[in-house]
Amino acid sequence: MDKSQASRSRIAAVMRKALDQAAWSPDGDPEAAIATLLTLCNTIGSMVTNEADPGDLTVAKVMFESEVLAAVYLFTGEVRKSVDQQHPARPPRYADMPRGEFVESVVTALPYFHRRQRAVSAALNEAFPCEDEGAAGLA
């Protein structure tokens, strides 16, 4: 996202679209849930980076000036640390853990993440009611 798109309502629209597209069930296939959650994390996480100007923090500043937008971003950070087997915040033993064992270690957190995703989505919708302009072309 570039500076010209860094308004709270535009950031909220992109976040809403990402949250809405991240449909998964805590009772479904755990690998599918993990893949969906990683896509959500990548989408939200990429919003604060500007590849053309890595020092540009415009979007991050706008995002963190809003408690709700910051909560969505922080939720995805929390999720990434849990579902990304190679995340540097994880103890080294997880990197070498067999995939099936890792997935089983994540399964217990999926109901919590599902509730949190619904909660941050509801808070986002309350703070930034959906507008017709949508998020087309921003993600």
Reported pTM: 0.85
User: What range defines the domain where residue 41 resides?
Assistant: 3-127
DSSP, collapsed to helix, strand or coil, labels residue 5 as helix
pLDDT over 90 (residue 21): yes
Residue 58 lies in a domain: yes
Poorest-pLDDT segment among 53-57, 59-63, 72-76: 53-57
Residue 99 lies in a domain: yes
Domain count, the chain: 1
Residue 133 lies in a domain: no
Q: What is the mean pLDDT of the chain?
A: 88
Residue 136 lies in a domain: no
Residue 61 lies in a domain: yes
Closest CA to 24 of 86, 99, 79: 79
Q: Where are the alpha helices (DSSP H) in the chain?
A: 8-21, 30-46, 58-64, 67-83, 92-95, 99-107, 110-127
**Could you give the angle at the alpha carbon of 9 between the alpha carbons of 70 and 25, nearest 5°?**
60
Residue 135 lies in a domain: no
pLDDT per position as a tens digit, 23-53: 999 999 999 999 999 999 999 988 887 677 7
